[in-house]
Amino acid sequence: MEIFLQQIINGLVQGSVYALVALGYTMVYGILGLINFAHGEVVMMGAMISLSVLTALIGIGLSPFLALPLSLTLAMAGCMALGYGIERIAYRPLRHAPRLAPLITAIGVSIVLQNLAMMIWGRDYHSFPQLFSNHTHQIFGAIISDIQLIIVIAALCIMAGLMLLIHRTRLGRAMRAIAENQHAAQLMGVDVNRVISITFMIGSALAAVAGLMVSANYGLAHYYMGFLLGLKAFTAAVLGGIGNLRGAMLGGLLLGLIESLGAGYIGDITGGFMGSQYQDVFAFLVLIAVLVFRPSGLLGERLAERA
Amino acid sequence: MMNSDTLSPRKQKSSNLAKPRAEMAGKNGALLEVKGLRIAYGGIQAVKGIDLHVAEGELVALIGSNGAGKTSTLKALAGILPPSTGQIQFDGKSLNSVPAHQRVVMGIALVPEGRGVFARLSVSENLLMGAYSRSDDSEIKEDLRRMYELFPRLVERRDQVAGTLSGGEQQMLAMARALMSRPRLLMLDEPSMGLAPLMVKKIFETIKEVAAQGMSILLVEQNARLALQVANRGYVMESGAIALSGESLLGNDAVRRAYLGG
Ligand SMILES: Nc1ncnc2c1ncn2[C@@H]1O[C@H](COP(=O)(O)OP(=O)(O)OP(=O)(O)O)[C@@H](O)[C@H]1O
Ligand SMILES: [Mg+2]
């Protein structure tokens, strides 16, 4: 029972991160019908920037309570600039090109960002500095740490805020209008390019937060971490129904849970033949299952017809 | 059903839709002046150098058969289709390098062919999208009220997503949404398309009412008779060129034969 609960807690923590990243994929897909495969690298950049700023600030003796928000702010700003740049340079010129073209560019952008990160930060793992004594709490025998608690709560608050933005504000209305019909949105006076830029920037800011969260949760970051994380978050977005915001959140949390429970019990299931190092398999089993049995995802409708 | 109250003179006074945001300038010149407009899709010329104008407060009809180039013309005027050459002047200013979204601010609104309502947004959200270019919140509220007065059908449906509306209701919504931007020039692309006769009647009554309040309107229609009946003036377009124009096209023999069925 404790093990089950522990896997649920771990799954929710990891799932919160997946959800934040999946939202970035799904927002861009919803508006442009484009899968921004470079998004995982933006998460990595967010992790690397926040980690090195944090380490530097702690190094000069700044209190963690100041250093943490400061490094997060810088990482968010950096990632927003990056997201903006990626759209401007890699996607906008290809807006009317065949679908394969931006996909290939996205892979190119990923490689560039990975190599850039490798040049700046090297190939080593960077460890997350010890900020404060990381208290743990017991819930029915399962353990959750302060950091994990903060991750889940922060992620939930951010998702609630995003929903408010999309469903209750003028900007959010414009985003949904563009997702349905770009020409009609233009006829309403919407500067479509500007809203698309803002969308990339919001998704990238979420990616920065997620980057800091993963590196805090696992205690490390490295230049290659964006690849697998990005692929899994993409799986989460597809699982929920790509283009659907609630779907991305649900898909993220579910994928975290599936992975964590799978890793916890795979030993039992296979009679010890496979161990928890196989946990990454689950994400892709899920991806395959969704694509075969329900390509539109759990909450997905038919893909929006685009004008 | 329809609320005939909205068309009464008393209500009309309180719902003056043609309240331009900008000062009226160049009273004698045309509000919209198009010269030598050409539009091509790839190598195919869809519009072959047309001239047309709409004066302040005028209702001008643009008729013509399938594929004549009417929709292409309106799209170019709204800025969502780049013309290959030609001059478009609005209120004395050249629109050639003005992007679509800024033309809305200047006072140009297009109700597109097929209506283009946002099916997954609610009726009231669609109307608010119409007011996207404005920031005068209290007046937007007031205009919302006016739209619901002009189209009482939309009131009951305000929280429904627009995709659930009937074709006629969607056309009303598309018109109301365009009016929410407080345009100086309202362009309508086949507002009667696919609608039942009763609904067509209602839509055209509304067009007349809006025109009576002083709105400048450019109306594209397949239903030539209806369009010419309500219009002050008309243009007949044939395979990308203006074939005829004038004030009494309804009486013109060529027009009768080609577009009015004898
Ligand atoms: N996207 C497009 N690509 C290529 N050709 C097009 C496109 N849109 C329109 N055309 C062509 O341009 C010409 C003018 O079309 P347009 O839609 O402007 O005519 P229309 O007068 O509005 O016709 P209708 O009464 O059928 O709406 C037609 O020959 C049409 O086939
Ligand atoms: Mg047409």
Q: How far is B250 from chain A (nearest CA, A)?
A: 32
- pLDDT over 70 at B64, yes or no: yes
Inter-chain residue contact A187 with B112, CB threshold 8 Å: yes
Return d(Cα A120, Cα A123) in angstroms, integer.
Answer: 9
Q: How many residue contacts between A and B have a Cβ separation below 8 Å?
A: 63
Q: In terms of Cα–Cα distance, which of A242, A289, A238 is closest to A262?
A: A289
On whether the CB atoms of residues A97 and A189 are closer than 8 A, the answer is no
Count of CB atoms situated within 10 Å of the CB of A253? 24
Q: Is the dihedral of CA A265, A266, A268, A274 positive or negative?
A: negative
Out of B104, B118, B119, the one facing A189 most closely (by C-beta) is B104
Matching residue, tokens 């990308």: B240
Q: Is the pLDDT score of A302 beyond 50?
A: no
What is the dihedral sign for C-alpha B149, B152, B157, B163? negative
Tokens of A243: 């283009």
The DSSP code for B26 is: -
What does the pLDDT average to over B152-159?
95
Mean pLDDT (whole number) for B194-219: 95
Q: What is the dihedral of CA B123, B125, B129, B131, to 10 degrees?
A: 90
Name the band, by pLDDT with cuts 50, 70 and 90, for residue A242.
very high
Chain B residue at shortest CA distance from A189: B101
In B23-152, the DSSP E strands lie at: 32-41, 44-54, 59-64, 85-90, 93-94, 108-111
Confidence of residue B88 (pLDDT cuts 50, 70, 90): very high
Gyration radius of chain A's alpha carbons: 19
Distance A104 CA to ligand 1 centre (A): 33
- Count of CB atoms situated within 10 Å of the CB of B14: 10
- Cα angle for residues A104, A109, A110 (degrees, 5° grid): 95
Nearest-Cα residue of chain A relative to residue B76: A187
Two tokens, residue A17: 């991160």
A52 and B CB contact within 8 Å: no
pLDDT at A282: 86
Residues of chain B with Cβ-Cβ distance to A190 below 8 Å are 101, 129, 132
User: Is it the case that residue B220 has pLDDT exceeding 80?
Assistant: yes
β-sheet bridge partners, residue B131: none
Stated pTM of the model: 0.91
Greater pLDDT, A148 or A266: A148
Lining ligand 1 with CB less than 6 A are B 41, 44, 46, 64, 66-72, 113, 222
Which of A121-125, A128-132, A269-273 has the weakest average pLDDT? A269-273
Task: Tell which one of B71, B111, B189 to mutate to probe ligand 1, the residue whose CB is within 8 A of the most ligand atoms.
Answer: B71
Yes or no, beta carbons of B121 and A176 under 8 Å apart: yes
Residue A296: which of A251, A231, A249 has the closest Cα? A251
Whether A183 has its CB under 8 Å from any CB of chain B: the answer is yes
Domains of chain A: 2-122+148-293 (1.10.3470)
CA B160, B163, B165, B169 torsion: positive or negative?
A: positive
Q: Three-class SS of residue B173?
A: helix
Instruction: Determine the distance separating the centroid of ligand 2 and the alpha carbon of B70, expressed in angstroms.
Output: 5
Q: What beta strand segments (E) does chain A contain?
A: 126-127, 136-139, 142-145, 220-221
Residue B22 has pLDDT above 70, yes or no: no
Q: Given CB atoms, is A180 within the 8 Å cutoff of chain B?
A: yes
> Hey, is the C-beta of A166 within 8 angstroms of any chain B C-beta?
no
Q: How far apart are the CA of B55 and the centre of ligand 2, in A?
A: 23
Beta bridge mates, B237: B64, B242
Q: How high does pLDDT run on average in chain A?
A: 92
Residue B18: pLDDT band (50, 70, 90) is low
Cβ-defined contact of A188 to B130 (cutoff 8 Å):
yes
Residues 245-264 of A with CB under 8 A from B: none
Whether A186 sits inside 8 A of B100 (CB atoms) is yes
Looking up tokens 């709560």 gives A153
Cross-chain residue pair B80–A186, CB shorter than 8 Å = yes
Q: Distance between CA atoms of B248 and B260, rounded to whole angstroms?
A: 13
The pLDDT confidence band at residue B261, using thresholds 50, 70 and 90, is: low
Helix (H/G/I), strand (E/B), else coil: B130: helix
For residue A48, count CB atoms less than 10 angstroms from its CB and return exposed for 0-12, middle for 13-18, buried for 19 or more. buried
